[in-house]
Chain A
Amino acid sequence: MSDWQPPRGPRIIPEEEAPAPMPEPPPSAGPKVIIEEDRPAPRLDFQWEQAVVPVAPTRPSVRWSGIGRAIGGLALLGGGLAALDAANFVADQFARGAMQGWATLGVVAGGVALLGSGLWREVRGLATIRAVDRARAAFARGDLAVAKAEALRWAASVQEAAPLQPAIRDARSVEELAALLQPTLATLEARAAAMGRTAAMQSFAMTAISPSPGLDVLVFAWRGVRLVRQVASLHGLRPGLAGTVALLRRTLLDAATVAATDVAVDAAARALLSNRLLEQFAGEAAAGAVAARRMLRLAKVAAEACRILPPG
Chain B
Amino acid sequence: MSGLLDPFGLLRDAAYGAERLGRSLIGQDRIRLAVTGLTRAGKTVFLTSLLANLLAAGRGRRTLPALEEVAGGRLRVVRPVPAGLEGLPRFDVAAHLAALAADPPAWPARTEDLSTLELELELDRQSVLAGLLGTRTVTLELLDYPGEWLLDLPMLAEDYAQWASATLARMRRGPRAEASAEFLAFIESLPPGAPAEESLVRRGAALYRDSLRACRDRLGFRFLQPGRLLNPGPRGETPLMWFFPLPQDARGGLATLVAERHAAYVETQRREFFEPYFRRFERQAVLVDVLGALHAGKEAFEDTAEALAAIANALRYGGGWLDRLTGVGVSRVGFVATKADHVPARQRDALAALLGHLVAAPQGRATHAGVTTSVHALASIRCTEDDVATLEGRPVAAVRGVLLSNRRSAKVYPGEIPLRPPEPGFWAHGFFEMPEFQPPRLDAAGGAGVPHLGLDTLLAALIGDVL
- Does B86 have its Cβ within 8 Å of any Cβ on chain A? no
Contact A40 B408, beta carbon cutoff 8 Å: yes
Assess the B391–A55 pair: CB atoms within 8 A: no
* 8 Å CB interface, B422-461 against A: 426, 428-430, 432, 434-435, 438-443, 447-451
Given A14-B408, A30-B430, A62-B128: A246 touches B133 (CB 8 Å cut-off): yes
A149-202, CB < 8 A from B: none
B197 within 8 A of A: no
Q: Is A129 an interface residue (CB 8 A)?
A: yes
Contact: A18 with B389, CB < 8 Å? Answer: yes
A10 pairs with B432, CB closer than 8 A: yes
| Bound CA–CA A40/B414 (angstroms) | 22
Please tell me which one of the listed residues A45, A49, A57, A140 contacts residue B77 in the complex, with CB atoms under 8 A apart.
Answer: A140
Is B129 within 8 A of A68, CB to CB? yes
B59 — which chain A residues lie within 8 A by C-beta?
A: 140-142
Bound-state CA distance A136–B26 (Å) is: 21
Interface residue count for B (Cβ, 8 Å)? Answer: 77
A245 contacts which of B130, B132, B135 (Cβ < 8 Å)?
B132
A33-51 residues at the B interface, CB under 8 angstroms: 33, 35, 37, 39-46, 48-49, 51
B54 → chain A closest CB, angstroms: 13
Chain A residues positioned under 8 Å from B426 (CB to CB): 8
Contacts of A20 in B (CB 8 A): 390
Q: Is A118 an interface residue (CB 8 A)?
A: no
B62 touches A53 (CB 8 A): yes
The interface residues of chain B lying within 8 Å CB-to-CB of A53 are: 61-62
Once A52-B56, A52-B449, A141-B60 are accepted as A-B contacts, the answer to whether A40 and B406 lie under 8 Å apart by CB is: yes
| B276 close to A (CB within 8 Å) | no
The distance from the CB of A64 to the nearest CB of chain B, in whole angstroms, is 6
B contacts with A: majority SS = loop
- CA–CA, A169 to B247, complex, Å? 79
Contact stretch, chosen from A95-103, A209-217, A247-255? A247-255
> Is the CB of B393 closer than 8 A to any CB of chain A?
yes
Contacts A10-B414, A52-B62, A67-B129 known; A44 to B428 CB distance under 8 Å?
A: no
Instruction: Determine whether the beta carbon of B72 is less than 8 Å from that of A61.
Output: yes
The answer to whether A41 and B432 have CB atoms under 8 Å apart is: no
- Does chain A have a CB within 8 A of B126? yes
Cβ-closest chain A residue relative to B406: A35
A15 to B430, CA, bound (A): 24
Chain B residue with Cβ nearest A64:
B128
Contact code string A115-132 (vs B, CB < 8 Å = 1, else 0): 000000000001001100
The answer to whether A48 touches B73, judged by C-beta atoms less than 8 angstroms apart, is no
- Distance, CA A59 to CA B394, complexed state (A): 50
**Bound: A277/B30 CA distance, A:** 45
B234 within 8 A of A: no
Q: What are the residues of chain B within 8 A of A219 when measuring CB–CB?
A: none
Closest Cβ–Cβ distance, residue B440 to chain A (whole Å) = 4
Task: Specify which of A7, A19, A64 lies most central, judged by the most chain B CB atoms within 10 Å of its CB.
Answer: A7
Complex CA–CA separation, A13 to B466 (angstroms): 46
Q: Which of A45, A242, A245, A310 has a CB less than 8 Å from the CB of B79? A: A310
| A86 CA / B59 CA spacing, docked (Å) | 51
Complex alpha-carbon distance, A4 and B395, angstroms:
11
Is there contact, CB below 8 Å, between A253 and B409? Answer: no
Whether a CB of chain A sits under 8 angstroms from the CB of B402 is: yes
B415 within 8 A of A: yes
Residue of B nearest to A138 (CB): B77
Contact B61 A43 (CB under 8 A): no
Contacts of A242 in B (CB 8 A): 131-132
Query: In the complex, A308 Cα to B274 Cα: how many Å?
Result: 41
Interface residues of B in 386-428 (CB under 8 A from A): 389-394, 396, 398, 400-403, 406-416, 426, 428
Closest CB in chain A relative to B80 CB, distance in Å:
9
Q: Is B127's beta carbon under 8 Å from chain A?
A: yes
Interface check B362, CB cutoff 8 A? no
Q: Which of A18, A43, A140 contacts B390 (CB 8 A)?
A: A18
Do the beta carbons of B429 and A9 come within 8 Å of each other? yes
**CB of B363 within 8 Å of the partner chain:** no
0 or 1 for each of B105-124: is its CB under 8 Å from A? (1 = yes): 10000000000000000101
Q: How far is the CA of A121 from the CA of B74 in the complex (A)?
A: 26
- A78 an interface residue at 8 Å Cβ cutoff? no
Contacts A44-B384, A46-B440, A49-B443 given; indicate if A59 touches B73 (C-beta within 8 A). yes
B416 touches A6 (CB 8 A): yes
Contacts of B82 in A (CB 8 A): 312
Contacts of B448 in A (CB 8 A): 48-49, 52
Residue of B nearest to A312 (CB): B82
Closest A-chain residue to B69, C-beta based? A58
A80 interface contact, C-beta 8 A: no
Closest chain B CB from A250 CB (angstroms): 6
CA distance A86 to B356 in the complex (A): 67
Q: Are B416 and A8 in contact (CB under 8 A)?
A: yes
Report B46-77 residues with CB < 8 Å from chain A CB: 56, 58-63, 68, 72-74, 76-77
The answer to whether B407 and A133 have CB atoms under 8 Å apart is no
Question: Which chain B residues lie closer than 8 Å to A68 at the CB level?
Answer: 127-129
Contact across chains for B401 and A7 when beta carbons are under 8 A apart: no
Flag B333-345 by CB within 8 Å of A: 1 or 0 each.
0000000000000
In the complex, whether B237 has a CB less than 8 A from a CB of chain A is no
Q: Which of B134, B402, B408, B432 is within 8 Å of A9, CB to CB? A: B432
> With a CB–CB cut-off of 8 A, which chain B residues contact A8?
415-416, 426, 428-429
B20-45 vs A, CB cutoff 8 Å, 1 = contact: the mask equals 00100010100000000000000000
For residue B260, CB closer than 8 A to chain A, the reply is: no
Contact between A249 and B416, CB atoms less than 8 A apart: no
Residues A21 and B393 in contact, CB atoms below 8 Å apart: yes
User: Given A49-B448, A61-B72, A312-B82, are A44 and B441 neighbors across the interface (CB < 8 Å)?
Assistant: yes
Are A60 and B74 within 8 A (Cβ)?
Answer: yes
* Residue B178 CB within 8 A of the other chain: no
* Residues of A with C-beta under 8 A to B432: 9-10, 30-31
- Kindly report which residue of chain B lies nearest to residue A46, judged by CB atoms: B451
CB <8 Å contact, A11 and B413:
yes
Interface flag for B295 (CB, 8 Å): yes
CB closest chain-A residue, reference B105 = A43
Complex contact B410–A14 (CB within 8 A): yes
Asked if B267 is at the interface of the complex by the 8 Å CB criterion, the answer is no
Q: Which residues of A contact B441 (CB under 8 A)?
A: 43-46
A112 CB to nearest chain B CB (Å): 23
Contact A52-B129, Cβ < 8 Å, known A44-B385, A133-B134 = no
Residues on the B chain within 8 Å of A67, using CB: 127, 129
Q: Given contacts A35-B403, A44-B440, A250-B134, could you give 4 more A-B pairs where the C-beta distance is less than 8 Å?
A: A45-B441, A46-B451, A63-B128, A129-B134
A–B pairs, 16, beta carbons within 8 Å: A6-B416, A7-B391, A21-B393, A35-B403, A42-B402, A46-B440, A53-B61, A59-B73, A60-B73, A65-B128, A67-B127, A68-B128, A72-B128, A126-B132, A140-B59, A310-B79
List the 6 shortest-distance A-B pairs measured between CB atoms, nearest first.
A9-B429, A58-B73, A41-B409, A10-B415, A30-B429, A40-B407
